[in-house]
Structure 1
């Protein structure tokens, strides 16, 4: 509990206890030793007030991800596989240092992958069916050969309105592409207009206090990657790993990769409190070609 407000002291003693805990300074910090002293009057055995450490920074790091035998593909053009720095599928949305691109406290959206008219598609609450998808995806047919590559991307029922719905399932058969969106994104039916719809690349989901794509100026998130070759020694923890990098070409040809996400809720060095906005990431997607 919050040491200042989380305890329900006896009514007749409440004001006196509160004044004692912060040495008579209204709104002042609670003195831990005094809190333990008061708690000892009400509890047994003797309680201890263990206040958690609070830091502006936090970090998550994945395990090594095995791309399998992608590196065994015949490579007549001289490229190394697996290939992460691919013009069509590559991870995007961060700057050269790995920080998520932000403008006006919002995550910068990537350019549309494709767009179409309503004569080419049919919407329901949480699905989009695209007819003659080979026409819509002309020049980008790889997405029809591998429709799962669209999972994590988003649909804009009206391409002129920043209201998108994240794709969670995709299938293609007989010229028809079927896309399913996350029900937590809401219903697409009310967002459909006479304007064109579009599909937009998206490689991570960020929100702050429940607001999608919101990133206050006090917050920042960076995403870095590391690659390594095949593990010859099963006891080796990090066999010949690359340096952490935001440049995916640095890990091209590496069978194993991992990612590291760093959150900072005091990016402007103004100090933090328990009420400071905290950004979170719901998913991350790293495509590769082989």
Structure 2
């Protein structure tokens, strides 16, 4: 556990440095997180031209542990809902939930004031759809932001490696979970010719996979936490540890549980969120 910064903006800087975001994403996250400083001290967040160049107030980080912090944030969320587009509101809330979850994991705050925050229910009415926009149920314009927020979570090595591989390769979950170690070309950041379907990955996965596979040279890439039953086929069992291949159902459950603190609806997200965008240059934090 590192020493907690005293001020909110310093905590924002620490989070952004650890999240490994690109410069454009870091700017978006910073603007969103700075915007929450005003409601934390019972002030309305500037809008429009007033927000550009406005210096956020000084906020002690300890204020996030104050019992009134969730109420202040809800009030700030309601104020923003009156002027911000739903897409912007969802992004700003996802940024806050990702940051507070990280601060909580660092031990810098003792409660997450963003827990339970959700955008106000939109009024019924026609929803404009831009040309080429997807209308698939469950798809939102903020999906790339959700992927970045999920990848910034502190999670076990296996989960981080799986999430980054799904994010960077954009391969189906079934294909990734079916991978065996001897199918991987780790230096080349791709699968070998013997793989059923070729896929490649970026630097985040390239850093995590060797750590995940240390001491293992055969068997499934992603395995369960416990030894597999004796009836498990040899192809789905690690010859070194005896653990079985990780199932889609278990991988999905773990991701949904891990992302529940980031979800305004408190339900968690599906693994499909990770396939919405796959930047190749996104570093991973340890």
Q: TM-score, normalised by structure 1?
A: 0.25
Q: Which has the higher strand share?
A: 1
TM-score normalized by the length of structure 2: 0.25
Q: Looking at secondary structure, tell me which structure has more helix per residue.
A: 2
